Amino acid sequence: MIITWGSEYIGHVGFTANPEDYDAEPPIRSLWFDAGPVAMNADREAVALALTFGRYASGRFQVVHKFSPVVAHAIEASMQPVWTTPSPIEYYPKALPIGSRTLDVHWTDEPAPSLNLGNEAQLAIQRSDRSAGSMRGLNRMTLSSNAWLHADTRGSELVQIFPLIAVAVLFAEDLNADVLRIRGQFDESSDEWINLVRLLATARLGITQVPA
């Protein structure tokens, strides 16, 4: 699978997956937003794309920018038992973003809760069929995206929200966050949760959950 980055004249920016012979066909080939991240760290980009398209890949998994070997290893591990070769690899070490607050990630159809954020931030991901555009503040962002179309109902509840977590990974640096807080009651002893934690950790991100 080869993934590219592009923009459209109507304002969408995002990624397009191009499946190869041994890949499965994703439900939709594009992951787009009505505004792109200001900061785009290559390791976090690779992690986000693995969360969105990884379960459809087999063999080559080529993303847009070079990323670190440790992220490549984590992506391989998260896709097992399917064999994959993530690329391109950057062997020159580079610093990861340093965040200082928790990012509250909200994605339901209801308006995002009004929180006294304090030293926290909030990302509200809106369905692209019900809203458009984006609004950005110092500690809040509302963004229209088609990430909801990538929810694979054949997977577990956690796997279904991987594409929404991917959006949060991409925008965490813009909101100066290093921990993602999601809503749900997921089994933290499951292989899926453990692999998610390990994958995010390679991009210097943590994850926690609160009841929905």
Contacts with 6 (C-beta within 8 Å, 6 or more apart), sequence order: 13, 14, 15, 16
* Contact (CB, 8 A) for 203 and 173: no
How far CA 179 is from CA of 11, 97, 187, 195, 203, in Å, comes to: 29, 12, 18, 16, 11
User: What SS3 state is found at 101?
Assistant: strand
Region 162-166: what's the mean pLDDT?
A: 95
**pLDDT above 70 (res 112):** no
**pLDDT above 80 (res 200):** yes
Give the pLDDT confidence score for residue 108 in this predicted structure.
Answer: 67
pLDDT digits (tens, 9 = 90+) for 149-160: 988 777 788 999
DSSP state of 115: -
Identity of the residue numbered 43: D
Single pTM value for the model: 0.92
Give the pLDDT confidence score for residue 132 in this predicted structure.
Answer: 83
Give the pLDDT confidence score for residue 130 in this predicted structure.
Answer: 86
Give the pLDDT confidence score for residue 187 in this predicted structure.
Answer: 93
Name the pLDDT band for 114 (thresholds 50, 70, 90).
Answer: low
Name the pLDDT band for 119 (thresholds 50, 70, 90).
Answer: confident
**pLDDT above 90 (res 103):** yes
Name the pLDDT band for 10 (thresholds 50, 70, 90).
Answer: low
Give the pLDDT confidence score for residue 99 in this predicted structure.
Answer: 87
* Contact (CB, 8 A) for 125 and 150: no
